[in-house]
Amino acid sequence: MTKGEVELRGWDELDVVFVTGDAYVDHPSFAMAILGRSLEAAGFRVGIVSQPKWNTADDFRALGKPRLFFAVSAGNMDSMINHYTANKKPRSDDAYSPGGESGRRPDRAVAVYAQRCREAFPGSTVVIGGVEASLRRLAHFDYWSETVKPSVLVSSKADLVIYGMAEEQIVEVANRLADGESVKDLRDMRGATYILGKNESLMAMPRHMRQTGTPRDDTKEMPSFELVKEDKTEFARATFIVHHESNPFNGRRLIQKHGDRLVVQNPPPLPLSTSGMDRVYDLPYARSPHPLYGDAKIPAWEMIKNSITIMRGCFGGCSFCSITAHQGRIIQSRSQESIEKEVDLLKETKGFTGVISDIGGPTANMYKMRCTKPEIEAKCHRQSCVHPTICKLLGTDHGPLRELMRTVREKDHVKKVFVASGIRTDLAQLDKGYVRDLAKHHVGGILKVAPEHAHPDVLKAMRKPPVDDFDAFIKVFNKASKKAGKRQYIVPYFIASHPGSGVEEMVELAVYLKRSGLRPDAVQDFIPAPMDMATAMYYTGLDPATMKPIKIARNLNDRKMQRALLQFFKPENYFAVKNILKDIGRTDLIGDGCESLIPLNPPREAVLARRRQSQSSIAPKKRSSGYRPHRKGWKKPTHKKGS
């Protein structure tokens, strides 16, 4: 991370310099650690520029010009989601920064960092990747500006996007550049996206794409940037094409015109084998933040430092989730031996108390689950293996997972193994033994589950199972907990303002919660992340899969109403909920009966809450400096007397 460390190793220059918006934590849950260690294992000299100051190029010069390329990422999160809430208000903290301090990365960090790299060393090769670049590699909707933006290649002026997890791709980039190939020679790589300049023709594409200037059958032309920007129907169609071509075994090359230039996305990278996963996770991680941070705690690290990743990818295909778009829908699992080796390493980790906080992945109970017919998997274009029903060809055996969990929890130095990753309740119910093991050994009183909604139309738009499935799981889990002699609870997660959800649908969800005795504390507001199917629904008002209209909650007031309905039981929401129920003619839900959502007369707490809200609305507000503290032009706010 520093010039001194470079000199200590006796290096005269670095091969690759990473630039990241996160604090540098050398742990396999952090992308920079995995990619950096993968390059190191391949014999390359790697430097990390973490959270550089972006208003000058000085920090980007700190480690010198890399011999091969700059590798740029916003970090483990999209910088805009990291910075802003669903209501576009600045967040007050950053889980990936020392001390949780906000403001240590710019908005749209990939483009800013890439430009600074070029400013620091003109002519350098710049390769971008990570979640932010992956999901913005083609024309996309940007929620924070409410506009359709071009590929991140346009704004960043980078040479190449490597999308997906990219361990094998980044080593291939380094090897081929080290062998004397140019960055243009890398345009035949899987998982690569690049842009052809206006003076380059289709003849500049790899040989297998040339056919008298016409793309071949293995290439699909998408609606152009200009077209998707002007026509929402075309935007929905383009989004469907991206997801339809996401299977690495049959996905075609995609091309999209941007004016007189052409963005080319090569087919997705192939999934890692079990040995490939082991190779990545068995690298010699220090399993700690860099010493440069001293005693400053990094919240994301504190949360995952004693967790174990056992697999990646997700075949759930939820329309609001970016995991499938980034990690792929094919499950890639580590071997039990590799996982046990990491568990044994925890014994030597400072501060380990014998408690493993999580053993899982994007979903906890998809370990070693794959299509049972590889020849069918190679042809399949289904975007979810479990929606609308579980595919009959999907291998859903929980046996390997149960054996792994048993082995880990029985180790002498392990006191407790929790499952904190979300579980698929529809899959879990296929193996009652798994639910029994979960309830008896791996839940500490509370199990977090995400049914997300209760209305069938919204669940269909989400690609989530019917709420009856959640109800059935509650019964199975409660029975297993009782048999284990434990009093345990399920904490459900729900999303407000998701496409398909209007006020009427949220009222039905509130009624369901009341009948079920559920009071969700954690409420997630829908955030339209780039490239998600649900984001296309939000922007276009169409479901890309059917091209039929769908309800959308766009303005802030609609979103506030949906959140209030989801937490109808809170006193501060009483008057908002009452007004909503009156407006839609559901006064039958106002009263003192068992089926009523709120009482006829406001409780004292509701009156006091409204009074506090009224007082705060007229109080002088402190001006926020946002994410550019000490910027030029900032003035101390002043308030006139009596204001």
pLDDT in tens, 285-331: 999 999 999 999 999 999 999 999 999 999 999 999 999 889 999 99
Return all residues near 419 (Cβ < 8 A) that are at least 6 apart.
358, 359, 360, 364, 405, 438, 442, 443, 447
User: With bands split at pLDDT 50, 70 and 90, how would you rate the model's confidence at 607?
Assistant: confident
146 SS3 class? coil
Q: What span, in angstroms and rounded, lies between the C-alpha atoms of 195 and 187?
A: 10
98 prior amide bond cis, ω within 30: no
What's the average model confidence in pLDDT over 554-563? 91
Query: Residue 211: is its pLDDT beyond 80?
Result: no
Report residue 43 as tokens: 């014999």
Total Cβ atoms within 10 A of residue 621: 10
* Tally of helices (H runs) and strands (E runs) in the chain: 25, 22
Distance CA 186, CA 183 (A): 5
Position with higher pLDDT, 606 vs 109: 109
To the nearest whole number, what is the mean pLDDT of the chain? 92
Q: Is the pLDDT of residue 204 over 80?
A: no
Rounded average pLDDT over 457-466: 96
- Region 73-99: mean pLDDT is 95
Domain count, the chain: 2
pLDDT confidence of residue 218:
87
- pTM reported for the whole predicted model: 0.91
For the chain, how big is the Rg over CA atoms in Å?
Answer: 26
pLDDT-derived band at 641, boundaries 50, 70, 90: very low
* pLDDT attached to residue 495: 95
Residue pair 254/220 in contact by the 8 Å Cβ criterion: yes
> Does a structural domain hold residue 286?
no
Residue 306 within any structural domain of the chain? no
519 found inside a domain:
no
For the four alpha carbons of 175, 326, 188 and 67, in that order, the dihedral sign comes to negative
275 burial type by CB count under 10 A (0-12 exposed, 13-18 middle, 19+ buried): exposed
Q: How much is the pLDDT for 210?
A: 39
- The pLDDT score that the predictor gives to residue 611 is 85
496: in domain:
no
Of 194, 214, 243, the last residue of a domain is: 194
Over residues 120-129, mean pLDDT = 97
Strand 69-73 versus strand 311-312 pairing type: unpaired
Asked if residue 576 has pLDDT above 60, the reply is: yes
Would residue 71 count as lying in a domain? yes
Phi, psi of 559 (to 5 degrees): -65, -40
Examine the pLDDT at 82 and tell me if it is beyond 70: yes
| Confidence band of 233 (pLDDT split at 50, 70, 90) | very high
* pLDDT at res. 206: 52
Residue 191 CA: distances (Å) to CA of 18, 129, 186: 19, 10, 11
Q: Which residues span the domain enclosing 146?
A: 3-194
Going by C-alpha positions, the residue among 326, 16, 348 that lies closest to residue 171 is: 16
Q: % helix / strand / coil in the chain, to the nearest 5? A: 40, 15, 50
Residue with tokens 């003192």: 592
* End-of-domain residue from the set 175, 194, 213: 194
Can you spell out the DSSP letters for 333-345?
E--HHHHHHHHHH
Judge whether 643 lies within some domain: no
Instruction: Kindly indicate the confidence band of residue 534, based on its pLDDT and cuts at 50, 70 and 90.
Output: very high
Position 522 scores a pLDDT of 74
The CATH number assigned to the domain holding 22 equals 3.40.50.2300
108 vs 152: CA distance, rounded Å: 9
The predicted structure's pLDDT at residue 620 = 61
pLDDT number for residue 343: 97
Six-digit token string for 75 = 């970090």
- Range 268-293 average pLDDT: 96
Is residue 217 very low, low, confident or very high in pLDDT (cuts 50, 70, 90)?
A: low
3-state class (DSSP) for residue 363: coil
The pLDDT value given to residue 177: 98
Is the model's pLDDT at 643 over the cut of 60? no
Q: For residue 225, give the H/E element and its range.
A: helix 225-230
Q: How confident is the model at residue 216 (pLDDT cuts 50, 70, 90)?
A: very low
Burial 344-370 (b: 16+ CB within 10 A, else e): eebeeeeebeeebbbbbbbbbbbbbbb
Of 94, 81, 110, nearest to 530 by C-alpha is: 81
> How does pLDDT run across 466-517, given as a tens digit for each residue?
999 999 999 999 999 999 999 999 989 999 999 999 999 999 999 999 999 9
* Secondary structure (DSSP) of 534-588: HHHHHHHSB-TTT--B-----SHHHHHHHHHHHTTTSGGGHHHHHHHHHHTT-GG
- Whether 290 and 4 have beta carbons less than 8 Å apart is answered as no
Q: Identify whether 289 is part of a domain.
A: no
Name which of 620, 534, 461 is nearest 135 in CA terms: 534
| Residue ending a domain, choose from 194, 218, 238 | 194
d(CA 381, CA 453): 26
In a domain, 33, yes or no: yes
The residue with greater pLDDT, 634 or 236, is 236
Specify whether the CB–CB gap between 203 and 210 falls below 8 A.
Answer: yes
Percent of the chain with pLDDT over 70: 93
